[in-house]
Structure 1
Amino acid sequence: MRQGDERAAAPPAAPGGDAGPAPRVDLSGSDPREPPRASRREAALAAASVTAGTALAVSYAFHPERAGAIGMLAALTALYAVLAAVTVMWLRGRGELRAALRPRSGDLARGAFVAAALYGLAMAAQLVLAPRGSPREAWLLRLYLQLGDPSADARVFVGATVFVVAALEELVWRGLVMRALEGPLGRGSAWLLSSALFAAAHAPTLFLLGDPVAGPNPLLVAAGLGCSIVWGRVVHLYGRLPPAIFAHAFFSWAVVSFPIWRP
């Protein structure tokens, strides 16, 4: 290229002989494809709403007057159907829906493996926390009485409903609550706080399923905390929700369909 052509291709100089302003370069390192972090207000609203809604539904469902009644599962199903729809819309609005729910080969097996491990731990915990013949055995009795007669024909329906509710529950707590809390708190703190909130949402069962002799019933709260930590870790491990959804659903179904305690 000739020298005259080079001068013609150069940007025009500013008046006074100074070169024009250099183009701005974004040095923030942010990826425009990354969805924005949830604000503190958004995260607090999501966490508080889901926790309060779950606590109210649990209070209704596990009231002794509704033991074995269809209204028990209906309340939980209705709540999580609405919250799951909100979660899907929230993830879709952020452009994360496909990535979060994208299934992959082996998800079912991974979820079943985690569920089986948790079921084994639940069996072991039952021997320690509520051994047969102790007053604390009443905790398990109250829990399974709330679900209805284990030998009834409707047990298959109950197990299927519990499977669906647990799947929706996992979608909401890990897909909305934990994900929203990651914005202001970071990944680790959001994981632990969402697990603690999940357990706290089941706190009404301490008294609703309590026993006059054994005292408040900690089984669902303890199981909620421990299992939620595991399910949250599964989401972190695979970066998607399906393995944790299957793990939660299979575990809840197994505890109902194959009780860890029988009279």
Structure 2
Amino acid sequence: MIPVDADAAPPSADPPPAPASSQDPRSTDPREPPRTSRREAALIAASVTAVVAIAISLAFDPERAGASGMLAAVGAPYVVLGAATVMWLRRRGELRAALRPLSGDLARGALVAAVLYGVAMAVQMAIAPRGSPREAWLLRLYLQLGDPSADARVFVGAAVFVVAALEELVWRGLVMRALEGPLGQGAAWLLSSALFAVAHLPTLFLLGDPVAGPNPLLVAAGFGCSIVWGRVVHRTGRLPPALFAHAFFSWAIVSFPIWRP
């Protein structure tokens, strides 16, 4: 017979600890950079920039000024790129976290858009005041968009709202997020903003004026606004507030022009 120690503690009945989850928290936390390789990130960034630059070249061709084909030329590629972004985020397990709506997103987006609209008005008065040669830059931009007093303007504004939301989805949801893997959050933020501006470089010449020269408005606005929208994404960890900010700002610029003839 084997002696039994009466004072010995009974064997533990607790089950062995469960193995730690192998799921990387970065796959669901939108605040963490996605694990993209340098090659994949470069391919995504270069492809999106090239496609958008071509679309911008077609959309802002002076022959399309005021025509419905102008918005279609830039909107159609963004529909495709937006769908690709959704599939990319879903494949990585980040879609729900990145696009999760919360109460107050609409108000935050509208507030950011209002601030940017005020800045745009101040910049317009500073660099392209009425009567100056640089006023032609604004003239060319709004002529491209069409008559601001036309009855169909409400539909143009709605189309711009949708295209702007798709822009934000693609540039912050795909390009910036992909670049965060190899570059880190800060560098990806700046580089994606710069690439958004680069994609608008064709407007330097397409919207230029013989007297005022190349038109820098969309390039400068693209970079400056992207800095703000990217920061909104980093602060909230989600895309919806920035989507609304971008969409409301672009809609306001079209529906409530900062310049009129």
TM-score, normalising length: structure 2: 0.89
User: How far 1:31 moved relative to its partner?
Assistant: 6.1
Equivalences for 1:9-20 in 2 at 5 Å? none
User: How far 1:34 moved relative to its partner?
Assistant: 2.3
Matched, 1:176 2:174: yes
Determine the structure 2 residue equivalent to 1:43.
41
Determine the structure 2 residue equivalent to 1:19.
none
Partners of 2:146 and 2:199 lie apart in 1 by: 22
Question: Which portions of structure 1, spanning 4 or more consecutive aligned residues, are displaced by more than 6 angstroms?
Answer: none
Matched, 1:33 2:31: no
Partners of 2:4 and 2:67 lie apart in 1 by: 90
Partners of 1:261 and 1:252 lie apart in 2 by: 14
Partners of 2:229 and 2:129 lie apart in 1 by: 27
User: How far 1:77 moved relative to its partner?
Assistant: 1.2
- What amino acid sits opposite 1:55 in the alignment? A
Partners of 2:250 and 2:80 lie apart in 1 by: 20
Equivalences for 1:107-256 in 2 at 5 Å? 107-256=105-254
User: How far 1:2 moved relative to its partner?
Assistant: 4.8
User: How far 1:76 moved relative to its partner?
Assistant: 1.2
Q: Which region of structure 1 is more displaced relative to structure 2, 73-82 or 117-126?
A: 73-82
Fraction of identical pairs, as percent:
81
Structural RMSD (CA): 1.9
TM-score, normalising length: structure 1: 0.89
Larger CA Rg, structure 1 vs 2? 1
Determine the structure 1 residue equivalent to 2:59.
61
1:34 aligns to what SS in structure 2?
Answer: helix
2:26 aligns to what SS in structure 1?
Answer: coil
Partners of 2:66 and 2:170 lie apart in 1 by: 25
User: How far 1:32 moved relative to its partner?
Assistant: 2.4
Matched, 1:82 2:80: yes
**Structure 1 unmatched runs, 5+:** 10-24
2:197 aligns to what SS in structure 1?
Answer: helix
1:191-217: CA deviations, max 9, x gaps?
A: 000000000000000000000000000
User: How far 1:67 moved relative to its partner?
Assistant: 0.1
* Cα 1:2/1:204, change in 2 over 3 Å: farther
User: How far 1:129 moved relative to its partner?
Assistant: 1.3
